[in-house]
Amino acid sequence: MPAPRTSKSSRAIVDTAMSLRGVRYRAGGSDPKGFDCSGFTLYVFGRHGIDLPRNTSDQYHEGKAIKQSQVAAGDLLFFKTVGREVSHVAISIGAGNFVHAPTSNGVVRVESLDTTYWASRFLGARRVK
């Protein structure tokens, strides 16, 4: 099983992500002027010295794959929302919830992995250092 980050570094990642709630969605955006999903994760992890690739499909191959039962705060969650391959990424905040930059409603927000929509589209999780 991949080693978890320290709780301090995981909390810092989550705190950064949560501080960006309400920032508007912007296609191709990767800064607080606006984010798309992978731009959001790139920015948040980058603030903590962790380099991620720019696009969702490349982020899907970073770090180590973990089972859904192992997901902890600060892990990346991946979904199939369009087409047959990974198309969306979010950051776990723990307790089955995640923060992300979705296109619908247009702002960074928290949602639950337990909802039918997200549970049926979940593809996997990755832990990056």
| Catalytic sites, residue numbers | 37, 88, 100
Give the pLDDT of residue 90: 98
At 81, is the secondary structure helix, strand, or coil? Answer: coil
- How far lies 83's CA from each of 39, 71, 74, 88, in Å? 20, 25, 26, 11
Give the pLDDT of residue 5: 57
Both structure tokens of 100: 């992300």
Sorted by where each begins, the domain ranges of the chain are: 7-127
Per-residue pLDDT of the chain (129 residues; tens, 9 = 90+): 444 456 779 999 999 999 999 999 999 999 999 999 999 999 999 999 999 999 999 999 999 999 999 999 999 999 999 988 999 999 999 999 999 999 877 999 999 999 999 999 999 999 997
Give the pLDDT of residue 38: 98
Fold annotation for 7-127: endopeptidase fold (from Nostoc punctiforme) (3.90.1720)
Burial bucket for residue 105 (CB in 10 Å: 0-12, 13-18, 19+): exposed
Both structure tokens of 106: 């247009």
What pTM does this model have? 0.94
Give the pLDDT of residue 8: 79
CA distance 56 to 89: 6
The answer to whether the CB of 92 falls within 8 A of the CB of 63 is no
CA distance 123 to 85: 9
Give the pLDDT of residue 1: 46
